Amino acid sequence: MPVCTTCAHPAEYLYTTYRTKSNIRLGVCPRCSAFLDPLIEHPPLLLILDLILLKPRVFLHLLYNRGTRPLDATAPSINRVVQTAPAGPDERETVLRQDLVRLVFVTILAEALVRIGASQGGLAGRSEGKGGIRCVWPVSGILLGVMAEMAVQYGVTLILGLSVLWARGWWTPAPGTPSERVQGSGKAKAEDGRKANFRPILIPLTLLYTSILPLLLHLLLSIWYSPPTHPSSSTPLDTLHLPSMLTDNLPLELISVMHTLHHLWNTTDRIWAGTRLLGGMSAGFGLRVVLPTRPWETTGIVSAGWGAAAAVGWVLQGPHISVLV
């Protein structure tokens, strides 16, 4: 069952078709009086722009509405719903799984290219020596590491997300389709279409939709970005360039801490840090659209997934390369 992209109210259909497929009429939400889903007429480029801008409506469109059946105005009243995929819960589950497989493949490929470039001292700008990081794994090892970290990150995020939903009574791991599980709660079903049509697969799908664009941005910017080189040895005061009046009054411990932070800033791959921060913020925002969680709950869920992936990467890869999550 599709939902309104403005208020998430459930609807029987999104638009009505007439004699020709190009002649359609968008449905209107009975709650907010807005069009149920104007994105069905938008080309893929506009959907990508909406994903970049993190508009809530694009998440509801991609996760709940894409490929739903229209209402055929020319058919008899007893059989007006056009039989196009997805025609039911099983078909929608198939569509979601197909999207998951495609996005997982693209994400693994993009992440592997980033790490392969890092191993060559190019795309991610890893430098050798102390404070630098160098990949010594072959391509197959990098692919296996990426898949292992992704599996752990998405698995932990999924388990924690479902646990929070179960604790709040928003989702129960009962058999049957989502619509069947909420038959006893007609009011909740009528108010929130996300609950009536929720599936656990929507959580990893949201993470994939929000992570693929920062990864592709990383690959694109790495073409022109020159990674920081290993800084030459110098004293803390020389690297910080602090006025002598200030350094004379600062304790040596504080100066040492400032020097360490300054060193980390100069040796950090800023594109990597920026795109990962963007991906984390995007993942949190996307989950907030799909799930009724509080901001601190969403932050904890996303951070726990990152931490678990980082731990797995550290165990698998050892001290030779840092974990990219």
Residue 309 buriedness (CB in 10 A; 0-12 / 13-18 / 19+): buried
Residue 250 confidence (pLDDT): 64
How far is CA 148 from its chain centroid? 17
d(CA 279, CA 291): 18
Judge whether residue 171 has pLDDT over 60. yes
DSSP string, 112-172: HHHHHHHHTTSSS----STT-------HHHHHHHHHHHHHHHHHHHHHHHHHHHHHTTS--
Q: Please give the pLDDT value at position 183.
A: 46
At residue 158, the pLDDT reads 95
Alpha carbon distance 171, 160 (integer Å): 13
Mean pLDDT of the chain: 77
Distance CA 66, CA 39 (A): 9
Does the pLDDT value for residue 269 go beyond 60?
Answer: yes
Q: Which of 22-31, 147-156, 264-273 shows the lowest mean pLDDT across its residues? A: 264-273
What mean pLDDT do residues 171-197 have? Answer: 62
pLDDT, position 72: 78
